[in-house]
Amino acid sequence: MLNTILQHIPVMAKEIIGFLDPKPGAIIVDATIGCGGHAELILERITPGGRLIGIDQDEQALACCRESLKAYADSLFLVNDNFRDLERILGPLGINKIDGIIFDLGVSSLQLDTAERGFSIKYDVPLDMRMSKRNQVSAFDLVNNLSVEELSTILKTYGEERFHARIARAIAEQRKKAPVTTTGELAELVIRAQPPHKFQRLHPATRTFQALRIAVNNELDSFDIALKTAVKFLNPGSRLCVLSYHSLEDRIAKHVIRDFEKQGILKRATKKPVRPFQTELAQNPRSRSAKLRVAEKNENS
């Protein structure tokens, strides 16, 4: 666990802290706290007197965070839950307004690097991809039980996979013989279902894995709900930061912020998504696809 904590590098940390501008005594929500990289920088600035509400549906991530942020235990409240239930989470804490919120979306380094979680193509392990063990549906269930049409739709919608129909049919043919049980089996099926590619930057199964992960965890619907709820809780003048890693998440953030801007409730603090500098990309290659959108609650709303 300690090695995981030491290896965790928060993406675009300087930019996020600059936009959030957390002050002593502030109440901030980290809706995807993970191992606490961004949270630690926030806690340094809101103490004394401030509170950070850290939410994560991943039990392993919260254990990591609890260890890494133990020096701030008096100012940190950790919640093992889905951020889509933000209102239900904050209500019992007596919190009606917050001074900022951050969403760091997608799969974390901890999840990718823990082989048995089944998120990464690098390891041949049982199909899982659940961010919370309380989730009853795993990638195994989707791959082996959905119809060809349902699988194809998931791959097209959540993975933007060009060969979605071919891959879905290949999976269906394979499971007639035996269930697809491991990430390695699935990755090999996806490779065989596609025409040969030359000079491809992404592994051929990347989009399939992304699509299944999003479907298993209902990520996009949950984010849409959580983002709209967060706006209601923001104090005037405070900000929300959304750090996304693929176009589907970024599109939701863009549209939600735009809609609230039209209503006069939010104003964009970033006209276009902010991208990592080359120096960060060199230090942390996983930041390469990151996009940061920031919006501020209007004073009169």
**How confident is the model at residue 301, as a pLDDT?**
75
**Tens of pLDDT along 136-186?**
999 999 999 999 999 999 999 999 999 999 999 999 999 999 999 999 999
Q: Which of 277, 268, 208 is nearest to 242 (CA)?
A: 268
195 burial via Cβ count (<10 Å: 0-12, 13-18, 19+): exposed
Q: Where in the sequence of the chain do the CATH 1.10.150.170 domains occur? A: 115-217
Question: Which CATH superfamily is 115-217 part of?
Answer: Putative methyltransferase TM0872, insert domain (1.10.150.170)
**pLDDT tens sequence across 216-268:** 999 999 999 999 999 999 999 999 999 999 999 999 999 999 999 999 999 99
Rg from Cα positions in the chain: 20
Q: Where, residue-wise, is CATH 3.40.50.150 in the chain? A: 2-110+219-297
Q: β-strands 76-80, 266-268: how paired? A: unpaired
Domain 2-110+219-297 sits in CATH at 3.40.50.150
The torsion angle over the Cα atoms of residues 121, 241, 66 and 219, rounded to 10 degrees, is: -40
Q: How confident is the model at residue 108 (pLDDT cuts 50, 70, 90)?
A: low
Instruction: From residue 28, give the alpha-carbon distance in Å to each of 19, 120, 150, 260, 289.
Output: 13, 31, 39, 21, 25
The token pair at 166 is 């071919």
Which token pair is 170? 């290949």
Which pLDDT score is estimated for 8?
63
Degrees to nearest 5, angle at CA 85 with 79 and 89:
45
